[in-house]
Amino acid sequence: MEASGPFLRFEQVQKRYGALAAVDGVTLDIAGGSFVALVGASGSGKSTLLKMVNRLVEPDAGRVLIEGRDVAETPAPELRRRIGYVFQGIGLFPHMSVAENIGISPRIRGEKAERGRIAELLRLVDLEQSLAPRLPDALSGGQRQRVGVARALAAEPHLLLMDEPFGALDPVTRDGLGRRVRDLHRDLGLTTVMVTHDMAEALLLADRVLVMDGGRIVADTTPARLLAGNGGEVAQALVAVPRQQAEALAALGAGPR
């Protein structure tokens, strides 16, 4: 894969909504097996860029290639069946049980979802087997997003797209699920692109951080280099937030006993 070029490539992609350039000529290569975080403030264009990969958004100009092939060449349903997608809205089908939700990928490809496979996917995301027959309504927010992750992995994708996947979860759940996803990324050999506005999350999970601002990528570096002060003004402003929080917490801990 590495030899034949990058796994995922953006070439001068552009998307405008009226006068606003949501994505303004982005060119970018992502290597297979990497965990990339796309960080930026609201409206920086990070979600739009992500959704161009599975064609939930079509670019006005430029193209997106997976393993050297333009995504526009593949019919959208076929393309999407090979890409895992997890997003903040989760979007579990309310009329289907947990097992049916997870089994939907094989089902739409005309295959039968095996019970063993569903049990395995539940295990992968640390969910009890007893949840399988439940409806999504009966689950907690964290459990629901775990089902969302399991559903995305059911198609055995090589590419996992995540759009603010943990945005609606409480901090403890968020931390646990984040680490779980990081492990799955490693164990399943995925290429993962995660959109988040939370720099701390990006620094902790990703091995490459891209900072977007005004539809452009303004920083492209590693967590270590970001923490060392590199990446420019916008990136450092985002890094400053968790750093100051960490320092404040440390100060509290070291304070008079």
Residue 23 CB, shortest distance to another protein, in Å, is 19
Q: Which of 5, 20, 61, 107 binds another protein (CB under 8 A)?
A: 107
Q: In the β-sheet with 20-30, what is the strand arrangement from edge to edge?
A: 20-30, 8-17, 61-66, 69-70
Q: Which of 94, 116, 255, 256 binds another protein (CB under 8 A)?
A: 94
Span from 77-85, 120-128, 185-193, 222-230 in contact with another protein (CB under 8 A): 77-85
What would the x/- binding string for another protein be over residues 5 to 44, using CB under 8 A?
Answer: ----------------------------------------
Q: For the chain, what is the radius of gyration of the CA atoms?
A: 19
Report the SS3 class of residue 114: coil
Q: Does 166 bind another protein (CB under 8 A)?
A: no
Q: Left, alpha or beta for 103 (phi > 0: left; psi -120 to 50: alpha)?
A: alpha
Distance of CA 248 to the CA centre of its chain: 29
Could you write out the DSSP letters of every residue in 167-207?
Answer: TTS-HHHHHHHHHHHHHHHHHTT-EEEEEES-HHHHHHH-S
Report the SS3 class of residue 111: coil
Q: Does 69 bind another protein (CB under 8 A)?
A: no
Q: Does 105 bind another protein (CB under 8 A)?
A: yes
Q: Which of 79, 188, 204, 227 binds another protein (CB under 8 A)?
A: 79
Residue 8 CB, shortest distance to another protein, in Å, is 16
Nearest-angstrom CA–CA distance, 29 and 16? 22
Residue 47 CB, shortest distance to another protein, in Å, is 11
> What do you get for the CA distance between the two ends of the chain, in Å?
56
Span from 1-9, 89-97, 204-212, 238-246 in contact with another protein (CB under 8 A): 89-97
In this structure, are residues 68 and 48 in contact, taking their beta carbons and an 8 Å threshold? no
Q: Does 56 bind another protein (CB under 8 A)?
A: yes
Q: Which of 20, 76, 246, 250 binds another protein (CB under 8 A)?
A: 76
Residue number with CB closer to another protein (83 or 184):
83
Residue number with CB closer to another protein (145 or 199):
145
Nearest-angstrom CA–CA distance, 23 and 76? 21
Nearest-angstrom CA–CA distance, 81 and 245? 40
Q: Does 93 bind another protein (CB under 8 A)?
A: yes
What would the x/- binding string for another protein be over residues 128 to 157, using CB under 8 A?
Answer: --------------------x--x---x--
Residue 190 CB, shortest distance to another protein, in Å, is 16
Q: What are phi and psi of 173, to 5 degrees?
A: -60, -40
Residues of the shown chain interacting with another protein in the complex, contacts defined by CB under 8 A = 54, 56, 76-83, 85, 87, 89-95, 104-105, 107-108, 148, 151, 155
